[in-house]
Structure 1
Amino acid sequence: MALLPFAACLMSLSCLAPAQPPASTLQLTTHDTANRIGSVVLTCEPAGGTHPKHDKACAVLQSAGGDFSRIQSRHQMCTLIYAPVDVTAVGTWRGKPVSYRMTYANRCEADRDSDDVFAF
């Protein structure tokens, strides 16, 4: 009879903890024409990792639903100097795989158009 409360708990699911969304972990990299390479880890829910602006980066990605192509760029002017910067993001967002790659005309555009997600 000791199993009766346990069985009732399992049948009603009232004893289970609320489901938490899977953590999001991304490896972000930048590479420019001067051969400078930057790399950080961004974790969200909770925000952390080695990204210097992890709180803001997670908020930006949250508002874009984890889709880098939906990030709203800041209103900021950048020079027209062409110094390409390649950026990548690989990992998971809420349990779903992420693989993103983009080339921006310069560092200013990379920071502006990603709303500082790639500002490290």
Structure 2
Amino acid sequence: MPLSALVPVAVSVLALAAPPAHPPAAGLVLSLTDAAGRVSTVHLECHPDGGDHPDRARACAALTTVDGDFDRIPDAGTVCPMIYSPVSARAAGHWRGKPVLYARTYDNKCAAGARSGGVFQF
């Protein structure tokens, strides 16, 4: 086989062997559990944004402003109904090399989304 025929094949093989894109700087599994025991779970990746969170850009932005510290996320100021229907929110994973384990109970699903800057709005 002539060398001119091998060059395109070699280039194709090298392109496939290129290193994968950088893994996200943050990867979290987020869950909400209601009083009946129903669980909703999503995955969130940040830097670059990814996962199946319905508003990953907003959730990542909220976490980025506080460097992944859920306790420092400011309240979004959303008015929620005063209906007590508690949900337990949990986050587990990593944020820029630091492990993340977070758990909090909110009065209802609206409060979980509003008090977490949209992180638990799913």
Q: Same fold (TM over 0.5)?
A: yes
Equivalent pairs, count: 101
Q: Determine whether 1:111 maps to 2:120.
A: no
Q: Percent identity?
A: 48
Q: Secondary structure at the match of 1:76?
A: coil
**Which residues of structure 2 form unaligned runs of 5+?**
1-21
Structure 1 gap ranges (5+):
1-19
8 Å Cα contact 1:111-1:118 kept in structure 2: yes
Runs of 4+ in 1 over 4 A off after TM superposition: none
What SS is found at the alignment partner of 1:91?
strand
For residues 118 and 65 of structure 2, what CA distance do their matches in structure 1 show?
14
> Do 1:21 and 1:94's aligned partners in 2 also have CA atoms closer than 8 Å?
no
Q: Once superposed, what is the RMSD of the aligned Cα atoms? A: 1.6
Give the structure-1-normalised TM-score. 0.79
* 2:68 alignment partner in structure 1: 66
Q: Is the 8 A contact 1:24 1:92 kept in 2?
A: yes
CA spacing shift, 1:29–1:81, aligned 2, 3 Å:
same
Deviates more, 1:38-47 or 1:76-85: 76-85
Task: Report the AA paired with residue 79 of structure 2.
Answer: M
Match of 2:86 among 84, 87, 90: 84
SS at match of 2:41: strand
Query: If the length of structure 2 is used for normalisation, what is the TM-score?
Result: 0.78
How far is 1:36 from its partner? 2.3
